[in-house]
A and B are shown apart, each in its own frame.
Chain A
């Protein structure tokens, strides 16, 4: 097992979490008042954790770079949140959610963690409803569900197309209640610049006030990092512009192992890139795949004509369309998991069937759904023998009720009416399954440093199923971390407040200042974005949807050269001690330039294809991923040793006692 102890409790799978909660130490309510906890990041995981910890009685300080906790990028999740409630009576259960998640993650996640996730999933929905989250309901007043990719039941709860925002507002409201009580101090427009270790334990952070540029010291008995994923290492992703890896990477440099960095999710349904000016990519919810059919032209000449603008998609006859997901995966069809759908789109576009100017887009077509719904609606509205126009009108109304805001968003961005012509979509970087290595308690390899939500690696293996990110973030924040952290803090009831004038804080602050000054000293002419875009291109071309050893080796070399260039030449106007968005970006990109290299190194070492990690050398004759359970059934946790290339690999073997490892098949 090496030096990694996952601390998975013994006993039968279904009893582990209950048993663990009974076994761990607690902190009594009076002592909780003497304990300070720092929570960095206020998305679903951080916001939920902060609220719950404060409610339990701890003194909490939260930090976010945004101007409000409510703006964390959890807000952008559209489709929904999974929970094994079995309200639809379609045979769902904790076990089935657990099984789907492990399988969807291509057998690269921990059984115990995932089972716990499934176990608390139902509680999340109860909790959120109690908080006033306006989930969609049926006419009878009960909660509605929809189905999502990679599963055969309907277990996704949703709030229009903005489930993420509604859940985050719920967590934020819970935070507000504690802020009002004085139990949470919320520091907005603050960025964590470094983690402070005192005697080997995480005891505080150095933060920068982004308004004044001031460097601040904050101490606590434990530090929770809930800072999201690192998808922006690709420059173009569906992440927010400010999403970054800084907090996690700073912790990594201080001793927290970074697990499976190469496990990245490429989401199949994003709006395609329109040009060089593109600053970010916009996701179209996966829920659209419930009703949209994905296709490209069957004939190469049609594809060429479409690209040249000589032919419209609606002019292509049904028999000349290639519904490639339905063709390749008849059982799941358009609802295959994200990694499978993304790769299939890339395969078709690489083969020359792409449908936009750049050749990197496929169609997502609602015409048949509109007709189907229209007929149904006509029937239920008592319209006999409706004509084609009536059917389409009624059908469009149904589609609008379901996806209106997404369709509107698409039209604003692309300037095409998706009710009349199929949407164009293409895969884009969306989520990172990798992250800080944590044990069953969500503690990193640094004592007292915890990580929750997308920032940790824990639950999704090599691929995340749709509507599971919200579930994991809230599970970690509301129901897991607040209890497991008590076990660690029970030793700290006599410690007293942590002073911030210690040598450790002095040293950490000095490092932060030195680093910023070094960044400001660049002598070249290129902006931070210039380097970020270059890094993104390397990552996308060589560490993207398909990877190979040669490309990865090149990537490692190119990133390391780019990093050197960046540190010598990046041009940042303004000063350190004032609001300076270029400097903020520079600090983040500097860390991406290190992470990117570790990412490539991890991808290079993993000589198999699994989930979102597709190595071209390891595929079946039909082009499906070829996993190697004999050699790679482990979590790759990297220890920082100076340069990313020197990172040391530690393996946590994954043990499957309750699930039989199979080749993932959605055929």
Chain B
């Protein structure tokens, strides 16, 4: 199929960016979206032009590196997939596809379609852990039984891959879904309860400092999340935060 691509090109963080048009022929339905871009880049390199830079790594939907706002949606029109798992069979011959970087003040563009998501790093550094030493001198793994339902819910929260689609989709560029997934995972497990109060306060404080917007419960994040992280996590974080604040 033949596609008309409108791609955001930006030299570096300090340069202004703009949309550049490309026409790409010979795209097949079995290709992934990134493989389609590979072909475009191959053409660009052969013409001596700089290829379009985009983040990607595992290409199997788990590392969370790939991003891209495709036709106005993070990770494109398909549901529960990352861009690397989006296949071209979702598009038709002659389609125009607008490809932009994830846009948020807290995610500055590095080059072309690559953004800096280190704000997420700092949120996790602020408290996204349980303070145990990695000595292995802990109690036996089965010493604390954990209710299967809680363990499963913690797992569902923990499936977050930190891609930033929630921020990109949210009309407010809010990072609540991401932060709440991290908070929830620990809040649901007995090991994590011990530091629950400090954790939620520190992580929310950092999230706010990074300049993300506020949650207005539109639910866009949940719909676009490639891992289907649920809004209940945001409610849980709100609850955790409020009770933590009241406690001190």
Contacts and interface: CB of A to CB of B under 8 A. Distances in A.
A–B direct touch in complex (beta carbons closer than 8 A)? yes
Contact of B63 (A75, A125, A188, A478): A75
The B interface is mostly helix, strand or loop, or mixed, namely loop
Given A67-B118, A283-B60, A132 B189 contact: yes
B204 interface: no
A137 B136 CA distance: 20
A173 B129 contact: yes
Contacts of B96: none
Contacts of B81: 412
Interface string B106-145: 0000110010111011001111111111111011111011
Contacts of A73: 57-58, 63
Nearest to A120: B136
Given A413-B87, A527-B46, A67 B55 contact: yes
Interface string B12-52: 10000000000000001111101100110110111011110
Interface stretch (B157-165, B171-179, B229-237): B157-165
Interface in A241-275: 241-242, 274-275
B192 A277 contact: no
A110 to B, nearest CB: 22
Contact of A188 (B44, B118, B139): B118
Contacts of B133: 55
Given A143-B141, A412-B78, A136 B151 contact: yes
A127 B143 CA distance: 12
A67 B126 CA distance: 18
Contacts of A135: 141, 151
B110 to A, nearest CB: 6
B138 A130 contact: yes
A80 to B, nearest CB: 13
Contacts of B58: 71, 73, 75-76, 240-241
A241 B151 contact: no
A125 B140 CA distance: 8
Interface residues of A, number: 83
Nearest to B38: A279
B186 interface: yes
B45 A126 contact: no
Contacts of B87: 412-413, 415
A579 B116 contact: no
B54 to A, nearest CB: 8
B180 to A, nearest CB: 16
Nearest to B48: A573
B57 A132 contact: no
- In this complex, the interface size class of chain B, counting residues with CB under 8 Å from chain A, is 35 or more
B65 interface: yes
A421 interface: no
A169 B158 contact: yes
B134 A71 contact: no
A282 B116 CA distance: 27
A93 interface: no
Nearest to A572: B45
A386 B155 CA distance: 33
A479 B136 contact: yes
Contacts of B129: 131-132, 173-174, 176-177
The 8 tightest CB contacts between A and B, nearest first, are A141-B145, A123-B136, A173-B129, A134-B155, A130-B138, A129-B141, A134-B154, A527-B45
30 contacts: A55-B133, A66-B63, A68-B121, A75-B62, A127-B134, A127-B136, A132-B192, A134-B154, A134-B158, A136-B155, A137-B148, A143-B141, A160-B159, A164-B62, A169-B158, A176-B124, A241-B57, A275-B30, A277-B30, A279-B35, A279-B59, A282-B60, A408-B80, A409-B85, A412-B85, A478-B134, A529-B42, A573-B48, A573-B50, A578-B111
Interface of B: 11-12, 28-32, 34-35, 38-39, 41-42, 44-46, 48-51, 53, 55-65, 78, 80-81, 85, 87, 89, 110-111, 114, 116-118, 120-121, 124-136, 138-142, 144-148, 151-152, 154-155, 158-159, 161-162, 185-186, 189, 191-192
